[in-house]
Amino acid sequence: MQTYLIVPDIHVPFHDIKAVKLVTKLIKELPQLSGMVMLGDFLDAFQISTYSKDPSRRNLLAEDIEDFKQILNEWSRNLKEGSNI
C-alpha cells in the first residue's frame, strides 16, 4: 500500500507559514510516504490572474516563483528518494 500526503491550495505568497512548516515536519516524520499530491493553486499568481487585483499587492511574479521554488525544494529534499510530488 502506498501513502501520500495531500496538500491543498498553498497560494504563495499568501501561504500560511505555520502550515508549510507542519507539512515539512510531516514529511520528515512519515518515512513511509510514497509522495505528495498538490491540490489546487500552489502559486497564487495574482499578477497574471483574471480576478480583481488589489493595488496594495506589490510583489513581482518572479519573487513569488522564487518563494514557491524554495518551499517545493525543501519538501523535495525531505522526501525519501524515489518519492513523487
pTM across the whole model: 0.79
Cis preceding-peptide flag for 55 (omega within 30 of 0):
no
What burial class does residue 40 get, using C-beta atoms within 10 Å of its C-beta: 0-12 exposed, 13-18 middle, 19+ buried? Answer: exposed
For cell 501520500, what's the residue?
4
70-85 pLDDT, tens digit each? 999 999 998 887 787 8
Question: What does the alpha-carbon distance between residue 23 and residue 54 come to, in Å, rounded to a whole number?
Answer: 29
55-70 pLDDT, tens digit each? 666 678 898 899 999 9
